[in-house]
């Protein structure tokens, strides 16, 4: 059952990444070759026409040896054309490394399973006038 939960979590991460790409008005972050990668229509693979790199900040899952070579990750990279650069953090140091990352202002594209609290969101993610609407 835990394996299924991990697969569901990874699937949700990829859906989140695809949603971020689609929310950018049909264009993704600039790929390595320059220009913008166009997003394909909903439900169509690959998600983007040109390869896109995203950085994920995540704790080391206890049952997955290496997220970069994990079969699920490799398969979805081929299907979606989205490459994930994993910034893996030991679970014991997660809170400290997350706080350092948030305080630095040099954010990854996705904090995956990083335990970001509502306080963290308010402190680091607020936009001027956002809460006054």
Percent of the chain with pLDDT over 90: 41
Query: In the numeric block, which tokens belong to residue 11?
Result: 């699937």
Residue appearing with tokens 């509502």: 118
The answer, as to whether pTM is greater than 0.85, is: no
Predicted pLDDT at 71: 94
Highest mean pLDDT among 6-10, 64-68, 81-85: 81-85
Mean pLDDT of the chain: 77
Highest mean pLDDT among 63-67, 75-79, 125-129: 75-79
Contacts of 44 (CB under 8 A, 6+ apart): none
**More reliable by pLDDT, 117 or 17:** 117
Domain chopping of the chain, boundaries: 2-125
Longest dimension (CA), the chain: 45
pLDDT at 40 over 50: yes
pLDDT at 58 over 90: yes
Contact 29, 85 (CB under 8 A): no
CA atoms of 85 and 108, how far apart (whole Å): 10
Query: In the numeric block, which tokens belong to residue 91?
Result: 């679970």
The length of the chain is 133
Q: Please write down the long-range contacts of 105-110, taking CB distance under 8 Å and 24 or more positions apart.
A: 108/55, 108/56, 108/57, 109/17, 109/20, 109/29, 109/54, 109/55, 109/56, 110/13, 110/16, 110/17, 110/20, 110/54, 110/55, 110/56, 110/57
pLDDT band at 105 (very low <50, low <70, confident <90, very high): confident
């Amino acid at each position: 059952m835990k394996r299924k939960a991990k697969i569901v979590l990874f699937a949700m991460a990829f859906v989140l990444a695809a949603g971020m790409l689609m929310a950018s008005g049909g264009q993704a972050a600039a790929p390595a070759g320059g220009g913008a990668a166009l997003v394909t229509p909903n439900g169509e693979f690959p998600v983007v026409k040109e390869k896109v790199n995203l950085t994920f900040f995540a704790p080391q899952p206890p049952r997955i040896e290496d997220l970069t070579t994990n079969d699920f990750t490799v398969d979805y990279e081929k299907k979606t054309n989205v490459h994930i650069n994993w910034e893996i953090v030991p679970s014991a140091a997660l809170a400290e490394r997350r706080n350092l990352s948030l305080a630095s202002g040099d954010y990854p594209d996705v904090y995956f399973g990083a335990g970001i609290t509502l306080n963290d969101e308010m402190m680091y993610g607020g936009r001027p006038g956002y809460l006054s609407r």
